[in-house]
Amino acid sequence: MTKQFPQIYDASFEAMTFRHLHGKIGIDAPLHSNIVHLEINFWTFGHASQQSDNTFHHPVPPFNRLFFFREKGGKLKHANGTTEMSPGIFYLLPENYPFTSTYYFEGEMFFIHFTINDRSLHHIFSKVSHIIKLDSPPFAELFSKQAGPSKWNTELQTLVSAIILKMIPEEVQYEIEERDGLAKEFNEIYNLLNTTPPAAVRISDLAEATGLTPGSLARRFNRKFGISLKEFIHRQTLKEANRLLISCSYTIAEIADKLGFIDRHYFYNYFKKHTGCSPGEFRKNHTTP
């Protein structure tokens, strides 16, 4: 019997997922006529065997979910109706797309929480407003063989990445290619960002590199990418901070210096404001594949 009162996963609860990076991969993906670079962050890999029908409400999902069932399945209620989930099929629920999920008694489910972005740091599924389904017996067979209740390794990560790429809608592929071309158009900005600590980057410096005024550059960038240049720099700063905290043994003070912050206290306050945890907590909570 389905539980009468579904558990609600609000924004603050789901945001805790971002304190643990399970794995990441960079891919040069062939789309229509171009090869574009994409990055996937895997935040959670899990397995559940249902002891009863269970219902969960996700009003503000901050990441994408990939579902796969070996036995029985479940259903999703969302803005476009109800989707029945069957065993042997992959279901991708895009970020920012509210849904209520019910998992059936005696069902065996695997779930993967991930984010994926292109070179412009745009989350490529963020504007998708429907459930994506992939019915691929070869992929299903490979996944069933490789996946275990707590098994996450390089081979499975590579396989899941290939499955995700296969599920990118055609219209989204065209958008990715367009943004990739725009990224090349703003190549001077990327070159400067690659050679300057991100927290030390100033829009005035970027404008000088492109031969535009700061205001003109900011408007052009926002118009082309749909994101402000300030927000883009902010994302780059957090991305590099996460990388250094996860993969390096530098002290917090050393990381603050490498990122271009004036001191470790400013970095501490900046990081905690935008992630909800301190740099030290992020490093402590991080788990490697």
At residue 149, the pLDDT reads: 66
93 pLDDT more than 90:
yes
Per the listing, tokens 């994506």 go with 132
187 pLDDT more than 60:
yes
Residue 265 phi, psi dihedral angles, 5° rounding: -70, -40
Q: How far apart are CA 219 and CA 227, in angstroms?
A: 10
Going along 64-107, which residue ranges are E strands? 64-71, 74-78, 81-85, 90-93, 99-103
What residues form DSSP beta bridges with 23?
Answer: 42
204 pLDDT more than 60:
yes
Tokens of 75: 């259903």
**What is the DSSP track for 177-218?**
HHHHHHHHHTHHHHHHHHHS-GGG--HHHHHHHHTS-HHHHH
CA 162 vs CA 87, 95, 165: distances in Å: 19, 19, 5
What's the pTM?
Answer: 0.74
Best-predicted range by mean pLDDT (85-94, 100-109, 119-128, 239-248): 85-94
Tokens of 34: 């171009």
At residue 261, the pLDDT reads: 94
Count of C-beta atoms within a 10 Å radius of residue 184: 10
2 pLDDT more than 60:
no
At residue 267, the pLDDT reads: 95
CA 124 vs CA 12, 38, 119, 170, 203: distances in Å: 23, 9, 10, 12, 25
At residue 282, the pLDDT reads: 87
Which residue, 4, 157, 127, 95, is CA-closest to 165? Answer: 157
